[in-house]
């Protein structure tokens, strides 16, 4: 696949449940009733908010979706598995087992400037994402649409062969192979409409033509973004956006600790604000004696999979028995403590690759042990593999960000109990990325990583991390795992249109891959967010581990 990543980033931090005790349950929603009107404020430590759909990796429930609709959308609520639902169009139909997909747009849709939204505008927006000048967004579609492997965008008059628009409301995609998750792919940012002929300028993100309930009224990099209502948006034609506030305002460039302090103080306009970044474990610990602030922490039930990747191309880690020993040697409880202070703050111990809230997920544990591990079992497995004296000199590379060194030290200590000796090497972000995923070969033995899917399908859990095509070149197969049978089964599961049948195939792949032990699942990280006292209906569903911006409002 073309390289892609969330604007919400590769999730490498294990974040918090609440500032309460280990037995407390996550508060996944703010129960206050939301009303229409007012100004919702979002406090951000970022310098920009990207409203260019071609360049965006934004989830379908966060900031971009306030301004841009897509062909399809997500329905997600706590306690429910996410499902694909109509947005601009229906959820798509296929008559040939998933190789061609046809979507029909609703009647009467308009852009913020009052012009009709047509299938040609959707096609233009997708084509625009292929232009080299507008790279950087999610790219699942780029190698799937027929002709996409060589297409360079529409600005020189070329059209993408695999997209047809026989009339103003119909758009048909011809893919290079059957792909059952195409309705999910149609919810990614590139499937937002851009008026045909527009968007050639590099700063389109600062003055986009809106199809969602809000339009961009003010943009000051590093300072402020202000959205106002789109007068041509029709609530009747949009089932996923409540559009409760009259305005949405981002305050940019705020220090993360200052954001936390402001929201804890809950004064003035900050009562109507929430933080777009995770509340850190250290910040949550400071809330332990503040009952008001604790009540305003909203936390995911689960989240991204944190895992230890083993470089399967290097001896002795090319030996499956050696890799199996790591499943027992790792101290997941110590990793929880290093990540967030307590197991409850960090997230539950992980035993599967597919995360919670994803259809088809099966809960199992192929390597049962206490959370602290079973070093004696690990030693036995190493002896059976021909290493009775253990292993030494393993290169353990981690990123300096997100408490990486401390988490690596927790893993290192657990491995040492089983006779596995490692040397930790910390790298800055770009150097870490280049070493772990940039090149065709890699010198490291072990690394820590984390992953949350880009859309609610087990496909997005499994394929990016374990298909052999994702090794190097910016791919996320950090364990450099190659298994021809797994590759074949991934293709088979991707080609399955029926979600229930596909779910069974992905669950079987989850087990099959873990039998090879290319990674050790560690925890399902929890994310916490802090809100002001007048922010209402801020909830985090079972997937993803982020608030649904589209439903947030204010209380009276």
Q: What percent of the chain has pLDDT over 70?
A: 94
Average pLDDT, the chain: 92
* pLDDT at residue 16 greater than cutoff 50: no
Do the beta carbons of residue 472 and residue 439 sit within 8 Å?
Answer: yes
Q: Is 143 left (phi over 0), alpha (psi -120 to 50) or beta?
A: alpha
Do the beta carbons of residue 399 and residue 427 sit within 8 Å?
Answer: yes
Give the DSSP letter string of 328-388. HH--HHHHHHHHHSSHHHHEEEP--SSPTT-TT-----SS---TT--HHHHHHHHHHTT-T
The mean pLDDT of 532-544, rounded to a whole number, is 95
Decide the pairing of beta strands 100-104 and 83-86.
unpaired
List, in order, residues 6 or more apart from 549 with CB less than 8 Å away.
61, 62, 63, 65, 66
Residue 379: CB atoms within 10 Å: 21
Judge residue 441's burial from the number of C-beta atoms within 10 Å of its C-beta, 0-12 exposed, 13-18 middle, 19 or more buried: exposed
* pLDDT at residue 25 greater than cutoff 50: no
Do the beta carbons of residue 460 and residue 454 sit within 8 Å?
Answer: yes
pLDDT digits 0-9 by tens, 113-158? 999 999 999 999 999 999 999 988 999 999 999 999 999 999 999 9
Residue 76: CB atoms within 10 Å: 26
Predicted TM-score (pTM) above 0.85: yes
pLDDT digits 0-9 by tens, 353-365? 999 889 889 999 9
Range name among 14-28, 130-144, 472-486 with the lowest pLDDT average: 14-28
What single-letter DSSP state applies at residue 404?
Answer: H
pLDDT digits 0-9 by tens, 490-527? 999 999 999 999 999 999 999 999 999 999 999 999 99
Q: Per DSSP, what are the bridge partners of residue 396? A: 424, 446
359-to-161, 355, 501 alpha-carbon distances in Å: 33, 9, 10
Q: Which domains does the chain possess? A: 51-204 (3.40.190.10), 305-525 (3.10.105.10)
d(CA 52, CA 33): 32
184-to-66, 141, 214, 462, 504 alpha-carbon distances in Å: 18, 10, 23, 15, 18
Residue 401: CB atoms within 10 Å: 14
Q: Is 221 left (phi over 0), alpha (psi -120 to 50) or beta?
A: beta
Q: What percent of the chain has pLDDT over 90?
A: 84
d(CA 356, CA 504): 15
pLDDT digits 0-9 by tens, 526-537? 999 999 999 999
13-to-280, 307, 397, 527, 553 alpha-carbon distances in Å: 9, 11, 16, 9, 28
pLDDT digits 0-9 by tens, 271-295? 999 999 988 877 888 887 899 999 9
Four-point Cα dihedral 389, 390, 392, 397, nearest 10: 180
- pLDDT for the residue 124: 98
DSSP element (H, E) containing 42: strand 39-43
d(CA 240, CA 61): 9
Q: How confident is the model at residue 15 (pLDDT cuts 50, 70, 90)?
A: very low
pLDDT digits 0-9 by tens, 375-418? 999 999 999 999 999 999 999 999 988 778 999 999 999 999 99
pLDDT digits 0-9 by tens, 322-331? 999 999 999 9
* pLDDT at residue 454 greater than cutoff 60: yes
Decide the pairing of beta strands 224-229 and 214-220.
antiparallel
What single-letter DSSP state applies at residue 126?
Answer: H
d(CA 213, CA 64): 11
Decide the pairing of beta strands 446-451 and 553-554.
unpaired
Nearest 5°: the CA angle 497, 543, 142 is: 50
Q: How confident is the model at residue 342 (pLDDT cuts 50, 70, 90)?
A: confident
Decide the pairing of beta strands 39-43 and 420-427.
unpaired
More reliable by pLDDT, 341 or 456: 456
d(CA 75, CA 550): 11
DSSP element (H, E) containing 462: helix 458-466
pLDDT digits 0-9 by tens, 26-67? 566 665 689 999 999 999 999 999 999 999 999 999 999 999
Among residues 117, 184, 104, the alpha carbon closest in space to that of 144 is found at: 184
Q: Per DSSP, what are the bridge partners of residue 308? A: 448, 520
Residue 164 CA to its chain's centroid (Å): 30
Residue 316: CB atoms within 10 Å: 16
d(CA 519, CA 517): 5
């Amino acid at each position: 696949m073309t390289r892609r990543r969330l604007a919400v980033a590769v999730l490498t931090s294990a974040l918090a449940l609440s500032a309460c005790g280990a037995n407390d349950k996550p508060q996944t929603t703010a129960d206050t009733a939301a009303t229409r009107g007012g100004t919702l404020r979002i406090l951000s430590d970022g310098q920009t908010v990207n409203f260019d759909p071609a360049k965006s990796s934004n989830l379908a429930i966060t900031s971009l979706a306030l301004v841009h609709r897509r062909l399809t959308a997500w329905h997600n609520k706590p306690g429910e598995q996410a499902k694909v639902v109509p947005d601009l169009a229906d959820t798509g139909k296929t008559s040939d087992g998933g190789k061609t997909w046809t979507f029909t747009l609703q009647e009467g849709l308009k852009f913020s400037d009052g012009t009709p939204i047509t299938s040609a505008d959707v096609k233009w927006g997708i084509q625009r994402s292929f232009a080299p000048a507008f790279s950087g967004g999610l790219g699942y579609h780029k190698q799937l649409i027929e002709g996409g492997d060589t297409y360079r965008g529409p600005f020189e008059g070329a059209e993408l062969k695999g997209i047809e628009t026989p009339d103003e409301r119909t758009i048909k995609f011809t893919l290079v192979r059957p792909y059952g998750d195409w309705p999910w792919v149609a919810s990614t940012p590139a499937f937002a409409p851009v008026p045909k002929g527009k968007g050639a300028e590099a700063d389109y993100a600062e003055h986009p033509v809106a199809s969602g309930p809000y339009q961009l009224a003010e943009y000051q990099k590093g300072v402020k973004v202000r959205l106002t209502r789109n007068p041509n948006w029709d609530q009747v034609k949009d089932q996923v956006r409540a559009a409760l506030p009259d305005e949405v305002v981002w305050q940019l460039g705020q220090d993360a600790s200052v954001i936390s302090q402001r929201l804890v103080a809950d004064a003035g306009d900050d009562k109507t604000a929430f933080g777009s970044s995770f509340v850190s474990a250290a910040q949550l610990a400071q809330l332990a004696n503040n009952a008001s602030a604790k009540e305003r922490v909203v936390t995911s039930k689960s989240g991204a999979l944190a895992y230890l990747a083993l470089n399967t191309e290097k001896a002795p880690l090319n030996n499956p028995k050696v890799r199996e020993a790591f499943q027992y040697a790792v101290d997941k409880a110590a990793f929880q403590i290093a990540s967030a202070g307590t197991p409850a703050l960090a997230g539950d111990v992980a035993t599967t690759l597919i995360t919670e809230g994803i259809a088809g997920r099966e809960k199992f544990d192929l390597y049962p042990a206490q959370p602290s591990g079973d070093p004696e079992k690990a030693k036995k497995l190493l002896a059976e593999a021909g290493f009775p004296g253990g292993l030494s000199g393993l290169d353990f590379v981690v990123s300096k960000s997100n408490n990486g060194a401390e988490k690596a030290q927790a893993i290192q200590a657990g491995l040492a109990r089983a006779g596995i000796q490692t040397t930790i090497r910390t790298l800055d972000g770009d150097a870490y990325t280049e070493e772990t995923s940039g090149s065709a070969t890699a010198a490291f033995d072990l690394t820590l990583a984390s992953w949350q899917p880009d859309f609610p399908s087990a496909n997005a859990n499994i394929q990016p991390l374990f298909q052999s095509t994702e090794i190097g070149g910016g791919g996320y197969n950090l364990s450099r795992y190659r298994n021809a049978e797994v590759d074949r089964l991934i293709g088979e599961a991707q080609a399955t249109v029926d979600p229930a049948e596909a779910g069974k195939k992905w669950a079987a792949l989850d087990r099959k891959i873990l039998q090879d032990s290319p990674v050790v699942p560690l925890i399902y990280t929890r994310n916490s967010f802090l809100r002001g006292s007048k922010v209402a209906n801020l909830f985090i569903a079972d997937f993803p581990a982020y608030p649904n911006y589209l439903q947030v409002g204010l209380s009276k």
